Amino acid sequence: MLIPYNYSLNEEAPDKWIISFDSGSHFIVNLNTVNFMSILKKSIDMKSAYEAYIAHEAFQSCSYTQFELLADNVIDRLKIAANKQYKPQPSYINLKLSVIPTRYIKYVTKPFMWLFTLKVFISIFILSLLFNITNLYFNNTGLVPDFTYQSFTLVIVPLLFSTLFHEIGHLAACRQYDAKHGEMGFGFYFIFPVAYSDVTGIWALPKYQRILVNLSGVYMELLYSSTLFTLSYWYPSLAYIAVIIMIRVAYTFIPFLRNDGYWILSDLLNEQNLLPRSRKILNQVFKQLRNVNNNFMQELDRKGRFLLAYAILNILYFPIFMLYIASSYTDYLIKFPYLLLTLFNGEYTLSQLSSEFFVASIFYLLLSLRLVKILRLALKNMLSFIQIYYKNNRDINE
């Protein structure tokens, strides 16, 4: 065979395929490329490949020399992709700390893998979701209004188990469908501590399996919260934890952050680079606004318009959230500097502060981070302008 490398193909759309190699490299090709690779894969030499190429209805006739040049080019590119170790994109999670190395994942996930066969997954997911929603509707338990050390301990320990089950779910589903996976650990997303599991190998899976892997974390948390709601009939305090977990499940489906909801939407739209692609369309719209006669908006298909709307909402969700906090917690935001000063002076302890104090803390922290990001971008653009300015002046003088 002319292509001696092992690879897998998955159809994303009628003319969009993902080719994945054992090295971890993957890229997108069209149907003609898939057919051409299939011919080279099945052929023992260039002559037989050329005969199969001529006989194929999808390709135009060409000379043997032209075919040989094209085939050599494709084979060389595949050789590079097959032998080159895949380098993942820069992670949005910082300060990673591995907790369970890759070699131990199979032992941790083995007891749970039966939960991820398709029929079992769908049945239990639907039943547990309905059970949790029913409990949320009929349960009158409110969240603990004031923060204390005791309430913090009672909440944080079960939530850590919930986080653990979430990541185990992703990895167990990954192993169920024979996708490559990495480690499980903790890191920081912006300022927030998060758990992560390396499941980048799922791009080699079919679309529905990728969606199942991305849903599997929520799936495990629904099972966990269902257990807590059931036990709350005898131990009512467990209902507090189950409610918090369900709030976190809802948060997980927000598609504007790098949550599971983002990757699920990415799979549904067949867009591996959902956010960059949507921002690119938005930038094109801004560039074309000056051209009154431009028909760019009319040329966008339904998917393009959805991506445009997604990009706009992705920009707006943060200021809308901040405005909501500002309007709902105005008094605490105003009093926050005074409360912070009294806390540093020892007049208050953490256990004496209400939950609104911590909401205000997050508000000012997020606002500060956003301002720092804007200032860094402005400084970067200013330095770039200065470099271009001096370079142009130097060229003129020379």
Better-predicted residue by pLDDT, 295 or 115 = 115
Q: Could you tell me if 197 and 171 are in contact, meaning their C-beta atoms sit under 8 angstroms apart?
A: yes
> How do the domains of the chain map onto residue ranges?
7-83, 94-268, 274-397
13-51 pLDDT tens trace: 666 777 777 666 667 777 888 888 888 888 888 888 888
Q: What's the pLDDT at 182?
A: 87
Segment 68-82 shows an average pLDDT of: 78
Q: Could you tell me if 239 and 143 are in contact, meaning their C-beta atoms sit under 8 angstroms apart?
A: no
Sheet holding 184-189, edge to edge: 94-100, 184-189, 192-197
195-215 pLDDT tens trace: 888 888 887 788 889 999 999
pLDDT band for position 338 (50/70/90)?
A: confident
Could you give the residue ranges of the DSSP H alpha helices within the chain? Answer: 31-42, 46-55, 64-83, 105-109, 118-138, 149-176, 207-231, 238-252, 260-268, 274-288, 296-299, 302-328, 330-344, 355-397
Please report how many Cα atoms fall inside a 13 Å half-sphere around the Cα of residue 214, on the Cβ side.
25
Closest CA to 254 of 310, 326, 332, 327: 310
Better-predicted residue by pLDDT, 345 or 385 = 385
pLDDT band for position 265 (50/70/90)?
A: very high
